[in-house]
Structures are given as structure tokens and as C-alpha cells.
Structure 1
């Protein structure tokens, strides 16, 4: 029942709908009390007062009219009640999605995609079901049950009513006990469903790798194990669920037995008429639904409560990066980085230390270094996915924590190491950050990213569907589409995080040349393993073990002993060896 208290904010806001539905339920309950009374009147009228056929038909007509009115009223209250519960589903999912979009990478290190999807779908459905069917059954069972009890005890016999209610306290205790067990077991079942969702999502997104390594049987076995675990936990829920109906039917059966036995004794002793006993048994029959509804309500509300606790756990989780309050001036500014120390959550050693540089508008910064040197971490801090532990990053001489996150990120255009494309057309993937872009604008940035000719060779050109995650495109094409998408945003700062790794040298050179022309007055930051991508940078910093080991222009670094010169010579030699077979074949 705590779910109703947790959702009280929504019930108060939508009180008109819920009050209207409750009022109609009360009217329906009152109308349903009339037919059993009419049946008793007809029985006594036929057996004692010798009613005519016309009188009987009049009473039957009244019962038919009541049935029609009840049908219409049930239609109206369902629209009111379930309309309100479906609106709750929309709001919960909107809040949930907004919360996920506010979270930072640290959040996604702790939560898996399948679990997040399960909470947004299965758990929300359970909460909505409880807010609709749960409210219906609670109100209907209470109103109908109380109304029937009042009529039975005041209009027929309070002694017989008390006798028929003897099994009810035992039934209530059993339902409460089963409801508590159901709550805990259902939470475990939902967690198992989340794990199964995770396994499904991972298998679907990595199906190429699974097939390449011949891991189909192994993955099938793992999936079967998760499915079996989920099935076992749901079976434990079903075992508790299965106890509700027998408990109700035994209680009702016992109540009927006591009512018939006690009522027959009262008829024999002339303290009750046959018609009254008939009405009493029919009223007792009306008690079957409130009792079943009460048990069903406990069932669905406990499921909804367990699901809502999982949703609230996500909604109450504050982002690790707090939003600021200041906004940036309209003009372009200088980016100043002064990181004394930063370490990842739970890391034993700092990831970055003593990283300092200043980047003025219109300049290009190159970042390189061995794997694990901290390049992507530095770019993540600039994007403010995390806050610096010691030190600060400033733009327009304003520390990033004081800026509104959305306002800061609107100045950035990012192309990450692993490009992500949506299952949509090429044109709409490029126009992701600017949905109202014209075809000419889309084609212009595609040319800058050297992908225009590739797009024209696709079956439907810019209207070609790229498939899930861009499955029908090569790695280089996906990278260049992502670069075009970033260029279309026309942001002040363009960040390329190893975004040219999958393109050939000639295409890389053309893209960099185009970026230099496009980037006049704009700041460009390029992180790359292939040093040829950094030759046009105004300054290059070499990261090693989390700090800057070398800095300068390309020509300066090539002439200095160190990692940059060694790696550049190695890559030049590697490129020459790759070209040699091609030259030999032409000869």
C-alpha cells in the first residue's frame, strides 16, 4: 500500500480524474445493490403475494435498465481512470529519460544498458498498472464490499452477516503475509529480468564479433542460463501469486456454507423469509468480487511498489557533476587548462597531473602520446564529464563548474573515437545537431569531411538508411559522417578524439586541409595516434603517464629527441613499407 503514498503527488494533481472515477464507481456499486433486492422482492411476491406477470416484468425491466446504465458508467470511469494512469506512464518515462540524459560517464560505469531499459519499460508498466487497476480494485472492493455489508446487516440480518464474516480475518492475515513475500520476490525477479535484458542487448550489438570468433554456442549457453535464472525467480513469484485465489475461494466458500446453514435455521424458525435468504446469498455472491479484487490489488500494488522503488533509485541519483549558473558571452574566448591532478573514481593513482596549456580562438591544438597516457581523459574533462580534483579549466576566464553545462556544451562539437550513427538516413544522421539544416548545408559539410562522393555511391544517396549503428558503412565512412555532423553544428570548439584513425592518409590530409579552412576563427583540438594528423596544429602536446612530456610545433618536436620524433619516424617508415609493394606492382 505504500505505493499509493509514494504516488500521492500525482493523485493530488490529477484529483479531478480520480475523483470522477471514484464517484462513478460509488454510483455503480449502489446500482449493483438493487438487483439482489429486486430478486428477493420477486421471490416473496411470487411465493407469498401472487404477483402477476406484468408486475414481474416491470421488476425485470428495472433490472435490465440498471444493467445498461452500469455498462455506460463503467465505460466512462475506465476512460477517466486509465487515461490518468497512462499519463503517469508518459511523465515517468520523460523524467527517467531526462535523468539519464543528465548523467555523466561515471553513472554509466555503474549501470548497464539492459537494466536501464528494463526500468524504463517493464518497471514503468508495473507502476502504471498499479496506478490504474490498483486504484480501481481498491476503490471498487472497498465501496462494493462496505455497501454490501451495510445492506446485508441493516436490511436482512446483522446476526447472519456476522456469522458469514467469520472466515474473513484469517483471509486478511494470509493476504498480508503473501503480499510481503511477493514484494521481495518480485524485486529479485525484476533484477533477473534486467540481467537477461543486458545479455540480450550485448549479444545483439556484438553479433558480428560473436560470429567471427565462433562463440554462438557459448553465448547461447550463457543466454540460456540467464533465461533459466529469470524463469526460476518468476516461478518463485508465481508460487506466491498462486496462493491468493485459493485463499479467497476457501474463505468465500466457508462464508457461503455458514450463511446457508445459519440462514436455513433462521428460515425454519421464521426469523427470515425465503426471499430474504435468497437476497442474502446473492449479496454474498457480490462479495466474491471485492474479496478477489482485494487480493488482486495487493498483488499488483506490491509488484508496482517493487518496480517503483527501482525507478526512484534512478530518479533520485544526483549527477556527479553539478550544474553551474553562469552563461558565456556571445563572442569566442580563450580556453585555459590548468589541471594539477585528476583521478578516476576508485583509482589508486592520478590519471592526469600538471597538465597546463592555453588555446586562443582560431588555433589548432594537437594531442598525442602512447595508449593510456590520458588523452581521452583530458578531452572528457574539457567536455566536463567530470570535474578536476585539483586545478581548473577556464573559458572566457570563467571556471567550467560555474557555467551552465548546457550552455558550455553548446559551444562544443565532438567526434569521439567510436562514432555512433542512428538507424536513419545519411542526411538525418548528419543533421542530428541541426535538424532544420538544408540539403545544401548537409552536402557542404559532407564535402568538408570528404564523404560526399562516398554518399553518392550509396543506393539512395543521402536518403540511404545506414542500419543500426551504421552497420552498412565502413569504419572510415562512419568517422567522416560523424565529422560532417560536428561541422554542421558550427560550434566554437571542435574536438576530434582520434576521429581519423580509420581513414587513409590521402583522405586524412584532405580533411585536415578542409578543417584548416573551415576553422578560421574557431578552435580545433585533435587527439590522434597517427602523427600525420597533427602536422598542421599550431601547438602539439605529448602526453605520457598523465602529464605533458613535450610540447611545440611539429617541426620543433621532430627535431627533438623523445617519444614524438621516435614515433613519427616509425610511422613514416611503416608508411613507406606499405607504399613499396604498390610502387613495385605499378612498375
Structure 2
């Protein structure tokens, strides 16, 4: 029942709908009390030969009219009640998505995609069902049950009513115990469903790799194990669920037995009439629904409560990076980075230390170094995915921690190491950050990214559907479309995180040349493993073990001993060997 108090904020806000539905339920409950009373009147009238045919028809007509009115009122309260609960579903999912969009990488290190999907779909459905059907059954069972009890006690016999209800307290205690068990078991079942979602999502997104490595049987076995575990946990829920109805029917059967036995004795001694006993048994029949509804309400509310605890736990997580209050002034400015130390959450060693640099508008910064040296970490801190432990990053001489996140990120255009394309047209993917862009704008950005010629050779050109995650495109095409998407934003700072790794040397050179002309007055930061991508940078930082090992222009670093010169010579030699091999290659059969 604690779910109702947890959702009280919504019930209070939508009180008109809920009060309207409750009032209609009360009217319906009162109308349903008429038929048993009318049947008792008819039985007494017919048995005592005191009712005419005309009176009989009138009473039958009243019962039919009551049934029609009850039908219409039930339709209206369902619209009111379930309309309110469906609105709750919309709001919960909006809050859920807003919460996910506010979170940073550290959050997604702790939560898997399948679990988040399960909470946004299955758990929300359970809460909404409890807020609609749960409220209905609670009010309906209480109103109908209390009304029937009052009528039976005042109009027929309170002694017989008390006798017939003796099994009910025992039933209530048993149902409460079942409810507690159901809450705990359903929570475990929902967690198992999240794991099943995780496995399904990972299997579908990596299906090409699974088939390439011949892991179909192994993955199927893993999926079967998780599905079996989920089924077992849901079966444990079903075992508790299956106990509700038999318990209620046993209690109702005992009530009917006591009512018939005690009522027959009272009729025999003239304390009540046969018609009154008939009405009493019909009223007791009306108690079946409130009892079933009460048990059902416990069932769905406990499920909803378990689901709400999972949703609330996620919605209550505050972002690890808090939003600032300052809005960036207009215009471009110098970007100054002073990272004295940064550690990832729960990491023992610092990921970065003593990283200091400044970039004026129009300058290009290159980042390179061995794998794991901290290049992507620097770019992540500039985007403020994490906060720095010691030091700060400033733009317009304002620390990023004081800036509104939206204000700061609107100045950035980012192309990550793993470009993501939506299952949409190429034009819509390029215009993702600028939906109002014209076709000419889109094509101009594609030309700068050297992907225009590739696009027009596709069957539908810019209207070609790329499939899920851009499945029909090559890695180089996806990277270049992502670059075009970033260029279309016309942002002040462009960040390329190893975004040219999948393109050939000639295309890379053309893109860099285009970026140099496009980037006049803009700040460009390029992280790359292939050092040819950094030759036009104003300054290059060589990172090793999270520190700056070397810095300078391409010419300076290529002339000085160190990692950069060794790697650059190695890559030049490798490129020369590849070129010789391609020139010496001859067709098969010659």
C-alpha cells in the first residue's frame, strides 16, 4: 500500500479525475445494491401472493434500467481513471529519458542498456497499472464491501452478518503475508528480466561478430541459461500469485456455509423471512468481487511498488557533474586547460597529471601517444564528462564548473572514435544537430568531409536509408558522415577523437586541408594514432602515462628524439612498404 503514498504527488495534482472516478464508483456501488433488494421483494411478494403482474414488470424494468445506467457510468469512470494513469506513464517516461540524458559516462559504467530499457518499459507499465487498476480495485472493493455490509447489517440481520464474516479476518492476514512475499519475489523477477534484456541487446548488436567467430551455439546456451533463470524467478512469483484466489474462494465458501446454516435457523424461528435470506445470500454474492478485488489489488500494488522502487532508485541518482549557472558570453575566446590531476572514480592511480595548454581561436591542437596515454580522457574533460580533481579548464576565463552545461556544449562539435548513425536517411543523419539546415548546407558539409561523392553514388543519394547503426556503410563513410554532421553545427570548437582512423591517406589529407580553411577563427582539437593527421596542427602534445612527454610543432617533434619521431618514421616506412606492395601486385594467372 506504500505505493499510493509514494504516488500521492500525482494523485493530488490530478485530483479532479480521481475524485470524479471515485464518486462514480460510489454511485455504481449504490445502484448495484438495488437488484438484490428488488429480488427479495419479488420473492416475498410472489411467495405471499401479494404482487400483481404489473408490479412484477415494473420491478423487472427497474432492474434493467439500473443495469444500463451502471454500464454507462462504468464507461465514464474508466475514461477518467485510466486516462489519468496513462498520463502518468507519459510523465514517468519523460522524466526517465530526461534523467538518462543528464547523466555522464560514470553513470553508464554502472548501468547496462538492457536494465535501463526494462525499467523504462516493463517497470513503468507495472506502476501505471497499479495507479489505474489498483486505485479502481481499492475504491471499488471498499465502497462495495462497506455498502453491502451496511445493508446486510441494518436491513436484514447484524447477527447473521457477523456470523457470515467470521472467516474474513483470517483471510486478510493470509493475504497480507502473500503480499509481502510477492513484493520480494517480483523485485527479483524484474531484475532477472533486466538481465535477459541485457543479454538480448548485446546479442543483437554483436550478431556479426558472433557469426564471424562461430559462437552461435555458445551464445544460445548462455541466453537459454538466463531465460531459464528468469522463468524460474517468474514461476516463484506465479506460485505466490496462485495462492490468492483459492484462499479467497475458501473464505467465501465458509461464509456462504455459515450464512445458509445460520440464516435457515433464523427463517425456521421466524426471525427473518425467506425473501430476506434470499437477499442476504445475493448480497453475500456481491461480496465475492470486493474480496477478489482486494486480493488482486494487493497483487498489482505490490508488483507496482517493487517496480517503483527500481524506477525511483534511478530517478533519484544525481548527475556526477553538476550544472553551473553562468551563461557563456557571445564570441570566440581562448581555451585554457590546467589539469593538475584527474582520477577516474574508484581508480587508484591518476589518469592525467600536469596537463597545461592554451588554444586561441583559429589554432589546431594535436594529441597523440601510445594507447591508454590519456588522449580521450583529455577530450572528455574538455567536454566536461567528468570534473577535474585538481585544476580547471576555462573558456572566456570562466571555469567550466561555473558554466551551464548546455551553454558550454553548444559551442562544441564532437566526432568520437566510434561514430553512431541513426536508422534514418543520410541527410537526416548529417542534419541531426541542425534540423533546419537546407539541402545546400548539408551537401556543403559533406563536401568538406570528402563524403559527397560517395553519397551521390548510393541508390537514393542523400535520401538513402543507412540501416541500424549505419550497417550498410563502411567504417570510413560513417566517420566522414559524422564529421559532416559536426561541421554543419558551425561550432566554435571542433573535437575529432581519432575520427580519421578508417579513411585512407589521400582522403585524410583532403579532409585536413578542408578543415584548415573551414577552421579559420575556430579552435580544432584532433586526437589521432596516425601521425599524418597532425602535420598541420599548430601544436602537438605527446602524452605518455597521463603526462605530457613532448610538445611542439610537427617539424620540431619529427626532428627531436623521442616517441613521436620513432612512431612517425615507423608509420612512413609502413606506408612506403604498402605502396610498393600495391605497385608490384599482379593479377592471378599471369
Distance between the aligned counterparts of 2:158 and 2:467, measured in 1? 71
Distance between the aligned counterparts of 1:59 and 1:150, measured in 2? 23
Distance between the aligned counterparts of 1:522 and 1:298, measured in 2? 62
Aligned residue runs from structure 1 range 280-319, under 5 A: 280-319=280-319
How far did residue 49 of structure 1 move? 3.7
2:420 matched to 1:401? no
2:466 matched to 1:466? yes
Please name the residue that 1:525 is paired with.
525
Please name the residue that 2:544 is paired with.
544
Aligned residue runs from structure 1 range 77-226, under 5 A: 77-226=77-226
Distance between the aligned counterparts of 1:257 and 1:389, measured in 2? 74
Distance between the aligned counterparts of 2:14 and 2:90, measured in 1? 14
How far did residue 459 of structure 1 move? 1.4
Distance between the aligned counterparts of 2:225 and 2:306, measured in 1? 24
Please name the residue that 1:45 is paired with.
45
How far did residue 583 of structure 1 move? 2.3
Distance between the aligned counterparts of 2:459 and 2:94, measured in 1? 37
Secondary structure at the counterpart of residue 422 of structure 1: coil
Distance between the aligned counterparts of 2:50 and 2:152, measured in 1? 25
1:267-288 deviation line (CA, Å, top 9, x unaligned): 1101110100000000000000
Secondary structure at the counterpart of residue 314 of structure 1: helix
Please name the residue that 2:69 is paired with.
69
How far did residue 53 of structure 1 move? 1.6
Secondary structure at the counterpart of residue 145 of structure 2: helix
Q: Which consecutive unaligned segments of at least 5 residues does structure 2 have?
A: none
Please name the residue that 2:32 is paired with.
32
Secondary structure at the counterpart of residue 525 of structure 2: strand
Query: Aligned-pair RMSD on alpha carbons?
Result: 0.8
How far did residue 585 of structure 1 move? 4.3
What TM-score does the superposition give when structure 1 sets the normalisation length?
0.99
How far did residue 457 of structure 1 move? 1.3
Secondary structure at the counterpart of residue 242 of structure 1: helix
Please name the residue that 1:244 is paired with.
244
Distance between the aligned counterparts of 1:262 and 1:110, measured in 2? 63
Secondary structure at the counterpart of residue 491 of structure 2: coil
Please name the residue that 2:356 is paired with.
356
Distance between the aligned counterparts of 1:141 and 1:344, measured in 2? 54
How far did residue 586 of structure 1 move? 8.3
Distance between the aligned counterparts of 2:177 and 2:585, measured in 1? 82
Secondary structure at the counterpart of residue 541 of structure 2: strand
How far did residue 52 of structure 1 move? 1.8
| Count of residues in correspondence between the two structures | 587
How far did residue 458 of structure 1 move? 1.2
1:163-218 deviation line (CA, Å, top 9, x unaligned): 00000000000000000000000000000000000000000000000001000000
Q: Which consecutive unaligned segments of at least 5 residues does structure 1 have?
A: none
How far did residue 497 of structure 1 move? 0.1
Distance between the aligned counterparts of 1:489 and 1:69, measured in 2? 61
Secondary structure at the counterpart of residue 549 of structure 2: strand
Please name the residue that 2:439 is paired with.
439
1:417-458 deviation line (CA, Å, top 9, x unaligned): 000011111111111001111111111100110111111111
Secondary structure at the counterpart of residue 365 of structure 2: strand
Distance between the aligned counterparts of 1:207 and 1:453, measured in 2? 30
Distance between the aligned counterparts of 1:49 and 1:304, measured in 2? 55
Please name the residue that 2:342 is paired with.
342
